[in-house]
Amino acid sequence: MKTGKRPDAVDNILAQWRRERPDLDASPMGPIGRVRRCAALLQRRLDETFAEFGMSSWEFDVLATLRRAGEPHCLAPTALFSALMITSGTMTHRLQKLEAGGWITRLPNPDDARSLLVQLTDAGLAQIDRAVEAHIENERRILAPIGAEDLAALDAHLAQLLAALEPDGA
């Protein structure tokens, strides 16, 4: 356990491994375990905000991806499922649900008669604009206990880890 910090659940796991397998250097479990626990705990906090808008995290992600695409807030399904790192089958199911909710519409693709484009409706645009403002404020509250310098260092270190994990910096 590092000095100057309150023990956390990962410290307890590491202590158990030291006790049960003193021959094993389990130190890599520290940062990875903390990243995984942080991700799970963060997801809960993010989901609470999405729920205020009647959305799940995946609905937020799809609408936000279309919103970030810029006018006319329209993408091909392949661009969407690639950006969201999901399968085409999963994307089809999600698009059906968003279309039924009135947040997206599917339009003929003028460049490819065999495919459709996905576009935010006016209701979807209004929904994501409200939700993203609340989402950013929620993230600001979550990160508030961390000082600006430490937060910048954390971001830089996570960027290094992400660069090592992502193929071709995708």
pLDDT in tens, 77-115: 888 888 887 877 888 888 999 999 999 999 998 888 888
Q: Where does residue 79 rank: exposed (0-12), middle (13-18), buried (19+ CB within 10 A)?
A: middle
Distances (CA, A) of 51 to 43, 54, 59, 146: 12, 5, 10, 26
Q: What does the pLDDT look like over 136-169, one tens digit per residue?
A: 999 999 999 999 999 999 999 999 999 999 877 5
Range 33-60 average pLDDT: 96
Separation CA 86–CA 62 (nearest Å): 11
Distances (CA, A) of 57 to 46, 48, 49, 100, 134: 8, 10, 9, 17, 13
User: What is the domain partition of the chain in residue ranges?
Assistant: 8-52, 55-169
- pTM metric for this prediction: 0.85
CATH class of segment(s) 55-169: mainly alpha
Please, what is the average pLDDT of the chain?
92
Residue 92 has what pLDDT? 84
Bridge partners of 104? 120
